[in-house]
């Protein structure tokens, strides 16, 4: 049995306008898993993800990360669970690439010398170092997404949550981000990806969770679930349709 890292226990969330975002969700996530959270638009994926690092708190039920209750250990949770948002533009805070990556560490009151060291290392790892003095608004879509990932990675999270990481990316951009994500999983990070287009990542995933109308409908290994995808409004990968099983998307 793998070591548990996130434990979600019967959570519900109702928005202030009375709309029920998610209902009675229970999931356990172990270290090192690569999870796809699939479902069509409005099925509640983003809402569920925001609970994972305490941006939204459940109305009932509870979540624990590394055994600590999220609502009581917010900072601890946010250091453990990093989150890359759907829209790269609205999560960029700094006015240079370097400052943007340093933002999280500054919040944690890390010493300046150590910030410089860590940021440089991350930028080099993600091949962004040559851009360090550029303004983030002048970057390409793929570079922006990688920058957003860098800003999270620098805080050294164990779990990284991606909300639609491939939206608005062209082919090279998708390859860049995808290989970054795969490397992260191989270096031991737990990955959770919300998407309504599973084709690019299904081969890498160890588990798929399907949501519909705020409920979890399926939860299991990709091979066994892939045939049900289309009944929940998610496109089945071509290779599977043609009877070739799951194929890696990367060339």
Partner 1 sequence: MLSAHLPACFFYFLILLLFFKKAGLNFFATLNSIKYFILLLFFIFIARALTVKGDIIFSLYDITITEQSLTEGFLVAFKFFLVMLTGLLFSTTTKPSSVKNAVQWFLKPIPFVPEKRVAVMISLSLSFMPVILKQAKEISDAQKARCANLQKNPVKRIIRLVLPLLKKTFISADRLVFAMESRCYNDDRTDPEFLPSGKEIPFLIGSFIISLSLAWL
Ligand X SMILES: Nc1ncnc2c1ncn2[C@@H]1O[C@H](COP(=O)(O)OP(=O)(O)OP(=O)(O)O)[C@@H](O)[C@H]1O
Question: Where do contacts with ligand X occur on this chain (CB under 6 A)?
Answer: 15, 17, 19, 21, 39, 41-47, 196
Report which residue's Cβ sits closest to Mg ion.
46
DSSP 214: T
Provide the b/e sequence for 77-94 (b: ≥16 CB within 10 Å).
Answer: bbbbbbbbbbebeebbeb
How far is 112 from 29, CA to CA, in rounded Å? 35
Q: Which does 44 bind (CB under 5 to 8 A by kind): Mg ion, partner 1, ligand X, none?
A: ligand X
> What is the residue whose two structure tokens read 């550029």?
134
Residue 219 parent element (H or E): strand 215-220
How far is 210 from 65, CA to CA, in rounded Å? 22
How far is 67 from 119, CA to CA, in rounded Å? 29
Report if residue 1 touches partner 1, rule: CB under 8 A. no
Return the residue of 46, 76, 168, 206 that touches Mg ion, per CB under 5 A: 46
| H helix count then E strand count, the chain | 8, 10
How far is 237 from 246, CA to CA, in rounded Å? 8
- Residue 210 has which token pair? 């399907």
Comparison of 47 and 200: residue with beta carbon closer to partner 1: 47
Which span sits near partner 1 by CB under 8 A: 16-24, 104-112, 189-197, 201-209? 104-112
Residues in region 133-162 near partner 1 by CB under 8 A = 133, 135-138, 151-152, 155
Report which residue's Cβ sits closest to ligand X.
46
Comparison of 46 and 66: residue with beta carbon closer to Mg ion: 46
Q: How many residues belong to the site for partner 1 (CB under 8 A)? A: 40
Residue 51 parent element (H or E): helix 45-52
Report if residue 168 touches Mg ion, rule: CB under 5 A. no
Report if residue 55 touches partner 1, rule: CB under 8 A. yes
Return the residue of 14, 71, 91, 140 that touches partner 1, per CB under 8 A: 91
The residues binding partner 1 (CB under 8 A) are 50, 53, 55, 75, 78-79, 82-83, 85, 87, 89-96, 99-100, 103-112, 115-116, 133, 135-138, 151-152, 155
The residues binding Mg ion (CB under 5 A) are 46
């Amino acid at each position: 049995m793998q070591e548990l890292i996130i434990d979600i226990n019967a959570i519900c969330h109702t928005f202030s306008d009375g709309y029920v975002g998610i209902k009675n969700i229970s999931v356990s996530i172990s270290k090192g898993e690569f999870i796809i959270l699939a479902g069509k638009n409005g099925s509640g994926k983003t809402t569920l993800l925001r609970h994972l690092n305490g941006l939204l708190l459940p109305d009932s039920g509870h979540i624990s990360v590394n055994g600590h209750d999220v609502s009581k250990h917010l900072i601890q949770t946010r250091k453990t669970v990093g989150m890359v948002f759907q829209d790269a533009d609205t999560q960029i805070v700094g006015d240079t690439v370097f400052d943007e990556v340093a933002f999280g560490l500054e919040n944690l009151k890390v010493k300046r010398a150590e910030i410089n060291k860590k940021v440089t290392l991350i930028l080099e790892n993600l091949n962004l170092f040559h851009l360090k003095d550029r303004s983030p608004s002048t970057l390409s879509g793929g570079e922006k997404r990688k920058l957003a990932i860098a800003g999270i990675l620098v805080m050294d999270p164990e779990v990284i949550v991606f909300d639609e990481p491939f939206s608005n990316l062209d082919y090279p951009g998708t390859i860049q981000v995808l290989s970054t994500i795969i490397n992260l999983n191989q270096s031991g990070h737990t990955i959770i990806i919300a998407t309504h287009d599973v084709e690019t990542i299904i081969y890498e995933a160890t588990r798929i969770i399907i949501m519909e109308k705020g409920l979890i409908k399926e939860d299991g290994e990709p091979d066994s679930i892939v045939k049900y995808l289309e009944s929940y409004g998610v496109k089945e990968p071509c290779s599977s349709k043609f009877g070739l099983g799951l194929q890696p998307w990367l060339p």
